[in-house]
Structures are given as structure tokens and as C-alpha cells.
Amino acid sequence: MKTSRIPGFYKMTVEARRELLEEMHSFSNDDKEILSKEALSTETADKMIENVIGTFSLPLGLGLNFLINGKEYVVPMAVEEPSIVASASYIAKIVRESGGFTAEATERVMIGQIQVVGCPDIHAAKAAILKEKEALIEDANAAYPSMVARGGGAVDLEVRILNEESGSTYSQMLVIHVYIDTRDAMGANIINTMVESLAPTVEELTNGKVYLRILSNYADKCLARARCVIPPELLKSDGFSGEEVREGVIHAYEFAASDPYRAVTHNKGIMNGIDPIVIATGNDWRAVEAGAHAYAAKDGQYGSMTTWFADEDGNLVGELELPMSVGTVGGAIRVHPMAKLSHSLLDVESAQELAQVIVSVGLAQNLGALKALVTDGIQKGHMALHSRSVAIAAGASGELIDIIAKQLVEEKQIRVGKAKELVDSYIK
Ligand code: NDP
């Protein structure tokens, strides 16, 4: 049976983990090859971007224990920072004991923007566009008929006037929003093609000049939400009752909700969970990052992406809602072999489902950080895991890595300088 609960996975060798996955996921020979060899060839890389001189690898780990809407998910996470995968898996284990995450996604409507300047009469220009709204939507769809055939395509159009009172011809402008259902694609290229195709007609209708024709990464009509409800008894940890942890998490949330200096760090911790899946699945993490941080400021002040509170039964409730412009097709997804493998591991059927998994992991990651912060502090777990990177940075290799990492933790001196001393003492 496919499960994300694999006790002792972290203690296995990489080889044993791969074998287990091969059994559980009926990997093809191609999948096995991808895991054991250089995934992205220089030849393919050279076709992906410009001026290629090589490839850059990241560790790919698995977030385990994720139960979301009753379905098991093994979550591929590409990330260099220690403790992220362990922390997400640890919280997912707690949450699954209280029934798992619930998640949902809105319809996938993305926004294409067209900027029009220099309209002799900006209100007449707006009216002209709105009068031809249906024809413009049809024209946009004619530029990408395959999206309509999939049940998507342009679905609506709005017009905004920016800086109406401004006397400056630079700042006053008309902005057309074309709303486009991009189905299972992130949609940047689809949207850009559609809005570019409308530019000549828009200039004719407005007597203005079109400059920008591009998607907005503020995808606030393409949202995903995750929620978890955790009884306090599941939150207790060494020396801390569940109630104490719950109260600490809520206080930590209120801090982030009220102070941008804290909120940025709080939200970075959420993106610690989100970016690794976005990267592993070949999606555009800059687009997701930009949209997520903008959404955290939607109420006028940059604040917490998550919300934490206690319900009337004393459970800790966490919620996360974010724009999630990710795809299961398009871009690098079908080009990068590791992205293809990640999709096959995740086994999601749609971009909406992928978005739901991503926000659930973000919520777990946030609780992992907050729980550590309000109990032992972040350094205890983090530095112990970081000690191996410190040992490698100091020149340790092979078995020496774990020996030195252990010694650094025991001596409570997780520093490269100390690690170098230890490496020298072993090599001499
Ligand atoms: P693609 O240009 O690869 O388009 C996706 C393609 O997938 C579609 O054209 C469609 O082709 C095909 N497809 C197959 N099945 C489906 C399905 N079920 N649903 C939807 N499409 C399907 O990618 P995107 O348009 O998604 O663009 C994403 C890329 O754009 C990313 O690499 C991103 O980095 C980049 N980008 C991002 C920008 C930004 O964020 N500001 C700006 C510009 C680019 P067909 O219909 O022909 O079958």
C-alpha cells in the first residue's frame, strides 16, 4: 500500500530508501536511472537557459507523514538547508494523528495585464474596452484555442484607471485585466501570448499606446488553503505541556501578525516548506515567492501568512491561504528529469491538488519553526543537523563527517574553526 508513513526512513542508507520507494511506487527503469545518475544532463541544460557551463544540484529529500484530505503524500523537497525536511515530517506526523490536513483550492484564474497610456479621454477609452469585452475575450481565446478546448481560457475582463487625478501623462494609465483559466499550467507563457494578441485592438479602441502586456504574479484569484486542528496533548514536548506549546504558538503568531520585522522571518519559515516542493516539481519559485509575500501585505501592512488560534475545545488551529500559481505541465516540468520524477512521487492529478499539498507543507513548516521557537529554541535541533554541513565545510569526508559532527554537538561548538581542528587531529 502506498503510504507516507515510513518509520525509520531517516536511518536507512540512500540506497535502501531508493529500493523502498521503487517497491512502493512501481518506478519505471527510467525513474530508477534518474535517481541514481546525474539527473539533468549538460546537453538538456544547454537547451533550457543561456550561456550554460554546467548544472547545479540540490539535495532532494522526502517530506513524510503527510495526510491531506485523507490522501497520503510523499513530498519531494529540493533544499540545501538542514532541518527543513525533518521538521516538516515531524509536524505532519502530529497532524496526521488528529486527522491530517484539510485543504482546498479556488478555480485557477490567473491575471494578464495590459497597460495603456496616452488615451486622449481615459473614461471613453475604458467604456470602449468594456463595450467590446466579449469580443476581446473571444480574441484572446482565439490566440490560444487549445486552452479553451481543455475547458479553460480567458473568462473575464476588467478595466482600471490608475492615478486618475494625476496631471502627469506618465503616471495616468488604463490597465486592463484579462482573467484566464490556465488549467494545469502555471500559465505565464499562455497569458503573455493572449494579452500580446489583444494589443493592436486595444490601441484602436482606446486611441492610446500599449506598453506592458504580461501576467501579474499577484495571483489572488488562484488561491490554495490548508488547515489543521491539533489537540494540545499532541503538542507536548520535553518539559512543556501541550497547552504551553499551544499558547506559545499563538503568541508567536500574534507577534508576526503585528510586526513586519517578525513577519518576514515567520514567513521565510513558511517558504522554507513551500519553495522546496515548488523547486522539486520544476515550478517557478520566484513567481510563487513574489505572489506569497504580496498576499501577506493585502490588508495594508505586511503580516503573517498563517493564522493560529485556539478553538472552543482548546485545540490549536492553523490556517494558511496563499496565491499558488503552480502547474503540473509546462515550463521546466516536462523537461527536467527530476521534476518529472517528483510529480510521479507526489501523484497529484491536477495543479489545484499540487497547490493544496504545497500550502499544507507550508503550514506544517511554520508550526515546526514556531514549536521549536517557543520551547527549546531553534538552535538545538537546527545546529545538530547543521553540524554535518559544518564538518564537510571543514574538509571532512566519508565516515569522518558523522564522527566530527557528533563531536561538535557533544562539545556544543558547531563552528567551522572547531571542525577544522578536529579534522586536522584525525588526519595527522
Ligand atoms: P508553457 O508555455 O510550457 O505552457 C504550458 C503548455 O502545456 C500549454 O501551452 C499546453 O500546450 C500544455 N498543456 C498540456 N496539458 C495541459 C493542461 N492540462 N493544462 C494546461 N496546459 C496544458 O508554460 P506556462 O505557460 O505555464 O509558463 C510557465 C513558464 O513561464 C515557467 O517556466 C515560468 O518560469 C515562465 N515565465 C514566468 C514569468 C513570470 O512569472 N512573470 C514570465 C514569463 C515566463 P498545448 O495547449 O499546445 O497542448
* Predicted model pTM: 0.93
Tell me if 284 is assigned to some domain: yes
Residue 249, C-alpha cell as written in the block: 504558538
Tell me if 226 is assigned to some domain: yes
Is the distance from CB of 364 to CB of 92 less than 8 angstroms?
yes
Tell me if 20 is assigned to some domain: no
156 among known catalytic residues: no
81 among known catalytic residues: yes
| Same-domain pairing of 96 and 230 | yes
**Does the structure show a pLDDT above 80 at 380?**
no
Is the distance from CB of 102 to CB of 134 less than 8 angstroms?
no
Q: What percent of the chain has pLDDT over 90?
A: 79
Cβ of 153 closer than 6 Å to ligand 1, yes or no, is: no
Which residue owns the Cα nearest ligand 1 atom 46? Answer: 146
| Same-domain pairing of 87 and 169 | no
Classified as helix, coil or strand, 60 is: strand
Tell me if 23 is assigned to some domain: no
| Same-domain pairing of 273 and 416 | no
Domain termination residue (choose one: 171, 186, 216): 216
- Separation of alpha carbons 248 and 367, rounded Å: 11
Is the distance from CB of 254 to CB of 138 less than 8 angstroms?
no
Tell me if 17 is assigned to some domain: no
Residue 418 CA to ligand 1 center (angstroms) comes to: 49
Q: Which residues of 173-205 are buried (b: 16+ CB within 10 A; e: fewer)?
A: bbbbbbbbbbbbbbbbebbebbbbbbbebbbeb
289 among known catalytic residues: no
| Same-domain pairing of 391 and 405 | yes
pLDDT computed for residue 178 by the predictor: 98
Residue 314, C-alpha cell as written in the block: 482548546
Average pLDDT over the chain, rounded to an integer: 94
pLDDT in tens, 272-301: 999 999 999 999 999 999 999 999 999 999
pLDDT in tens, 184-237: 999 999 999 999 999 999 999 999 999 999 999 999 999 999 999 999 999 999
Is the distance from CB of 245 to CB of 232 less than 8 angstroms?
yes
Q: Which of 93, 336, 382, 386 is catalytic?
A: 382
| Same-domain pairing of 267 and 344 | yes
| Same-domain pairing of 366 and 269 | yes
Nearest to 411 by CA among 392, 393, 384, 389: 384
Tell me if 205 is assigned to some domain: yes
| Same-domain pairing of 200 and 233 | no
Residue 229, CA atoms < 13 Å, CB-side half-sphere: 9
| Same-domain pairing of 99 and 118 | no
The CATH number given to whatever domain includes residue 161 is: 3.30.70.420
- Structural domains counted in the chain: 3
- Separation of alpha carbons 400 and 403, rounded Å: 5
- Separation of alpha carbons 150 and 184, rounded Å: 10
| Same-domain pairing of 329 and 253 | yes
Question: Mean pLDDT over residues 364-379, rounded?
Answer: 91
pLDDT in tens, 171-196: 999 999 999 999 999 999 999 999 99
Q: Find how far residue 100's CA is from the centre of its chain.
A: 19
Domain termination residue (choose one: 216, 251, 270): 216
List C-alpha distances in Å: 167 to 17, 111, 118, 162.
65, 28, 12, 12
Tell me if 5 is assigned to some domain: no
Question: Mean pLDDT over residues 305-318, rounded?
Answer: 98
| Same-domain pairing of 321 and 226 | yes
Tell me if 119 is assigned to some domain: yes
Which residue owns the Cα nearest ligand 1 atom 37? Answer: 188
ipTM > 0.90?
A: yes
Domain termination residue (choose one: 168, 186, 216): 216
- The number of beta carbons lying within 10 Å of the beta carbon of residue 102 is 16
H/E segment holding residue 210: strand 209-216
Residue 24 CA to ligand 1 center (angstroms) comes to: 31
pLDDT computed for residue 213 by the predictor: 98
pLDDT in tens, 80-109: 999 999 999 999 999 999 999 999 999 999
Cβ of 217 closer than 6 Å to ligand 1, yes or no, is: yes
Residue 184 CA to ligand 1 center (angstroms) comes to: 9
Ligand 1 atom nearest to CA at 287: 40
pLDDT computed for residue 376 by the predictor: 80
Residue 350 CA to ligand 1 center (angstroms) comes to: 14
Q: Which residue range is the domain that position 365 belongs to?
A: 41-106+222-372
Residue 1 confidence class, pLDDT cut points 50, 70, 90 = low
Cβ of 326 closer than 6 Å to ligand 1, yes or no, is: no
The CATH number given to whatever domain includes residue 78 is: 3.90.770.10
pLDDT computed for residue 199 by the predictor: 98
- Separation of alpha carbons 136 and 132, rounded Å: 6
Which range (14-23, 141-150, 268-277) has the least confidence? 14-23
Amino acid present at 70? G
| Same-domain pairing of 155 and 192 | yes
pLDDT computed for residue 47 by the predictor: 93
| Same-domain pairing of 366 and 257 | yes
Ligand 1 atom nearest to CA at 189: 25
284 among known catalytic residues: yes
Is the distance from CB of 296 to CB of 262 less than 8 angstroms?
no
Residue 90 CA to ligand 1 center (angstroms) comes to: 34
Question: Mean pLDDT over residues 400-409, rounded?
Answer: 89
